[in-house]
Structure formats: C-alpha cells, structure tokens
Amino acid sequence: MRNIVILTFMVFCISTVSASFTAASASAADSSFTQSDRDRMIRLEEGLKATNQRIDDGLKATNQRIDDMGKKIDDMGKKIDDMGKKIDDVKADVNKRLDQMYTLILWGFGILFGLFFSGMVFLVGFVLWDRRTALAPAVRKTNEVEERTELLEKALKEAAVENPGLKKALKHFGLL
C-alpha cells in the first residue's frame, strides 16, 4: 500500500514537472526561467531521487521477504517429504506385522485342527476297542448259552423217542 502511495506521488510530481515544462515552453517567449524555478526543479529532482531510493529499498526488502518465505516453504516441503517417508515406513511395518499375525493365526488354527482331528481319531479308536473289549464277555456268554441250548435240544429229542408225551409236546412247539 505504501508503495502505491509513493508511486502515485511520483507520477503526480512528474506530471506536475512535465506540465510546468510544457507551460514553460509554451510561454517561454513570455517568461524567462528564473533562479527560483531552477532551485525548485533541483529540490523536486532530489525529492524524486529520495523517493526512488525508498521504493528501491522497499522492493529489496520485499524481495528478501519473498526469498525467506521461499526458503521456509522449501524447508516445509522437505519436512513433509520426511513425514511421508516415515508414514511409508510405519505402513510397511504394520503390513509386516499383520502378515506375521496372519501366519500365526493360520498355524494356530492348523495345529488346533490337527489336534482336534487326532483327538477324534483317538476317540473313535478307543470306542471301537472298548466296545470290542466290552462285548467279548457277552459274546462268550452267548456262545455258551447257544451250546447249552443245542445240547438240551439234543437231549430232549433223544428222550422224546422213548417218551410219547414229550414227543407230542416237542412237535407242538416245532422242535421236532
């Protein structure tokens, strides 16, 4: 804003000087250039030089600020790049750990399934062995009873040959 005011002032001064030169050249025949006019022109020129110097100094300061801001922006860009690298490193680490957890879970379920399957096979084997062991005495008893029944039937058939009442009873029950 200050630079605009200074620039406007300079344009005004230059236009005033140019207007006075135009008026002076138009009326040069009428008036002469006096010492006070010359002094005024010198002061105006010195003021213009001072104004130009202030504008140049302001522009240099502004350029310096812009350069400083550029450096700060570059530094921020580097920091952002470093943060991006750190984020990528963390992401890779998290992915690696998730892969390890996945592998651990798969092995864990595999081992559990293997133990379960082995337990089931063991249980079925035990049940079959136990049933055979538990049924062996019953099968033995049944065989003994069948043998005794056959012997009794033979004995009754032999006795029925000599006893007609027994023969009739055995025929009635379908044993003869």
Letter for the amino acid at 174? G
Using an 8 Å Cβ cutoff, are 33 and 24 in contact?
A: yes
Could you tell me the pLDDT band of residue 17, with boundaries at 50, 70 and 90? low
**For residue 88, what pLDDT is reported?**
95
For the cut 60, the answer to whether the pLDDT of residue 19 exceeds it is no
For the cut 60, the answer to whether the pLDDT of residue 55 exceeds it is yes
Q: CA-to-CA distance for 156 and 169, rounded, in angstroms? A: 10
Q: CA-to-CA distance for 11 and 124, rounded, in angstroms? A: 109
Could you tell me the pLDDT band of residue 121, with boundaries at 50, 70 and 90? very high
- What's the pTM? 0.40
Concatenated DSSP letters for 148-163? HHHHHHHHHHHHHHH-
Using an 8 Å Cβ cutoff, are 51 and 9 in contact?
A: yes
Average pLDDT of the segment spanning 139-143: 90
**For residue 20, what pLDDT is reported?**
58
